Amino acid sequence: MKSCVIFNPAARGEKARRFRRHLEEIGTQTTLKSTASIGDARRLAAEAVAEGFDTIIAAGGDGTLNEVLNGLGDVSDGFERTRLGVLPLGTVNVFARELNIPRDVMSAWEVVQRNHETRIDLPFVDFQLEAKEQRRYFAQLAGAGLDARAVELVAWNLKKRFGPLAYVWAGLQALLRKASSIEVNADAHSLKGGLVLIGNGQLYGGQFRVFPQADLRDGLLDVCVFPRVNWFVLARCGPQLLLRGNLPAGVAKVVQARTIKISAAERTPTEVDGELFGQLPATFSLMPSRLRVVIP
């Protein structure tokens, strides 16, 4: 296995500090590529494919993972030539949780070393940016409306200090703003709501099983549409999400589809894997069994 690890040497948090303590040991078994700014992980991943690395490991959070994933996609046959590995160093690490990758850094490194590979579906979103057609790949989830507004509002210092609670605070701030009216066309289903979540796997925001029927290998995306987004809905969802990890019945409509088109009349931000990428309209789809991933 010819592998490289792409990581941010300035990342904060105990997991990142422990990872750095083991850099010398890890460096004897792989090539280390460090980032310095946003976008570096994507560039380094594309370069690593061209250099012949067959396993590229994203050491960071879901944002780093998304950059590395899109770096593989920047090379015409990158997804065939290269496996994706994950060392979860971030705040939430939803994709790593979905794959049951240990949250302990060195245990996750042992998973990478065992080199057990599977194939999963690869979702992507097509959209326009500055009048140009764009495509962005994602591993786990996407959203439009309230959750993307929360990503816009989340404060970096609160995120580093309080972890997932920073997103909760940002979500409460987002609730104070007027909700978008989002139209969703998911194959034969036509829906409308103020918050739209799209999942490749079952998990959202950490341990919350928002898409209970989702399967990384079924060739379908799951879309969860909340008809209303207000304090009452939050009060209904909060306790069950925290205690049971799922949504109460009837609060949202969840359907499966191969292609999901969403639009809104007003400015509505969108995100993939917790990273903002643009505004609606956008079209979500996937490539079945396209992504090679190292799993336990």
Supply the CATH number for residue 81's domain. 3.40.50.10330
Domain termination residue (choose one: 98, 115, 132): 115
Residues 141 and 80 in one domain: no
Range 156-172 average pLDDT: 54
Domain termination residue (choose one: 115, 135, 169): 115
Per-residue pLDDT, 129: 84
Beta bridge partners of 55: 3, 83
Residue recorded with tokens 């079209």: 283
Instruction: Give dist(CA 226, CA 205) in Å, integer.
Output: 16
- Helices 62-73 and 40-50 meet at what angle, rounded to 10? 40
Determine, yes or no, domain membership for 219. yes
Residues 106 and 52 in one domain: yes
Instruction: Give dist(CA 52, CA 50) in Å, integer.
Output: 5
Strands 141-145 and 269-272: antiparallel
Is the distance from CB of 186 to CB of 223 less than 8 angstroms?
A: yes
Supply the CATH number for residue 195's domain. 2.60.200.40
Is the distance from CB of 259 to CB of 220 less than 8 angstroms?
A: no
Determine, yes or no, domain membership for 294. no
Mind listing the pLDDT tens digit for each residue in 250-277?
Answer: 889 999 999 999 999 888 889 999 888 8
| Number of domains, the chain | 2
**Has residue 84 got a pLDDT over 70?**
yes
Residue recorded with tokens 């750095």: 20
- Identify each DSSP E strand in the chain by its residue range: 3-7, 31-34, 55-60, 83-88, 117-129, 132-137, 141-145, 182-186, 189-193, 195-199, 203-204, 208-209, 221-226, 253-257, 260-264, 269-272, 275-279, 282-294
Residues 140 and 65 in one domain: no
Range of the domain at 270: 123-289
**Has residue 140 got a pLDDT over 90?**
yes
**Has residue 284 got a pLDDT over 60?**
yes
CA 246 distance to own-chain centroid: 19
Residues 6+ apart with CB under 8 A from 200: 120, 121, 123, 138, 139, 140, 141, 214, 216, 221, 222, 286
Of 81, 138, 120, nearest to 293 by C-alpha is: 120
Residues 278 and 132 in one domain: yes
Determine, yes or no, domain membership for 296. no
Residues 12 and 87 in one domain: yes
Residues 170 and 269 in one domain: yes
Per-residue pLDDT, 174: 54
Beta bridge partners of 159: none
pLDDT > 90: what percent of the chain? 58
Mind listing the pLDDT tens digit for each residue in 11-27?
Answer: 667 777 788 888 888 88
Residues 6+ apart with CB under 8 A from 288: 121, 217, 219
Residues 206 and 251 in one domain: yes
Per-residue pLDDT, 48: 97
Q: What letter represents residue 105's amino acid? A: V
Mind listing the pLDDT tens digit for each residue in 235-253?
Answer: 666 667 666 777 878 889 9
Residues 70 and 151 in one domain: no
Residues 74 and 163 in one domain: no
Determine, yes or no, domain membership for 295. no
Residues 13 and 59 in one domain: yes
Range 96-107 average pLDDT: 93
Residues 8 and 51 in one domain: yes
Determine, yes or no, domain membership for 218. yes
